[in-house]
């Protein structure tokens, strides 16, 4: 009888130890899952700094801004953003039409437009190669470089763009 009791006690101890290890493994797995989920849901900080004015944007940039002065009638400056010492973004609106102008350091495309368009062509304006992209007869995005800077004008990215001659006229006057 004593041997049966010893065997029974030892069996209970083994199951208790095995149960404790199993809980610890599950707890570790749950902790890892929780950490992993936290890492996946972590957000990247938005580098765009909202600016109250052109002067405010200038305080965040270490380069001379080239500002479009002659836009089509009715376009009003609605938002100004800067990425510290890297990029200037000016957003203009005319009713439901939107125009975004960007100037950034370097030679990379600063438009942020990764759409695929029916039309992609390059034209020359003031000795600069301007890449035009759009659908049908309208242009949605123009990109170019000049010296140490990249520029872009994007118009109504979710719809009709703007006539090519109007966009080129803006670029000519910069």
pTM of the full structure: 0.76
Q: Which residues of the chain have pLDDT under 50?
A: 1-9, 11-12, 15, 20, 22-31, 33
pLDDT for 154 equals 98
The CATH classification number of 49-172 equals 3.30.200
Helix, strand or coil, per DSSP, at residue 122: strand
pLDDT for 35 equals 54
Q: What gap in Å lies between CA 161 and CA 104, rounded to an integer?
A: 22
- 94-99 long-range contacts, CB within 8 A, separation 24+: 97/155, 97/156, 98/155, 98/156, 98/157, 99/71, 99/75, 99/153, 99/154, 99/155, 99/156, 99/162
Helix, strand or coil, per DSSP, at residue 161: coil
pLDDT, tens digit (0-9, with 9 covering 90-100), for 43-72: 899 999 999 999 999 999 999 999 999 999
| Residue that is written with structure tokens 């960007």 in the block | 102
pLDDT for 18 equals 52
pLDDT for 159 equals 82
């Amino acid at each position: 009888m004593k041997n049966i009791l010893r065997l029974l006690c030892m069996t209970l101890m083994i199951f208790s130890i095995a149960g404790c290890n199993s809980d610890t493994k599950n707890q570790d797995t749950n902790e890892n899952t929780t950490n992993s989920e936290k890492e996946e849901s972590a957000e990247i900080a938005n580098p765009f700094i909202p600016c109250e004015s052109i002067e405010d944007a200038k305080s965040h940039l270490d380069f001379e801004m080239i500002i479009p002065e002659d836009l089509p009638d009715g376009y009003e400056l609605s938002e100004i953003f800067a990425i510290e010492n890297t990029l200037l973004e000016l957003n203009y609106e005319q009713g439901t039409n939107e125009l975004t102008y960007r100037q950034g350091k370097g030679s990379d495309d600063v438009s942020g437009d990764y759409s695929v368009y029916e039309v992609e062509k390059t034209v020359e304006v003031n000795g600069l190669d301007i890449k035009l992209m759009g659908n049908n007869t309208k242009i949605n995005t123009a990109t170019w470089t000049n010296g140490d800077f990249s520029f872009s004008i994007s118009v109504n990215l979710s719809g009709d763009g703007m006539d090519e001659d109007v966009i080129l006229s803006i670029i000519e006057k910069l």
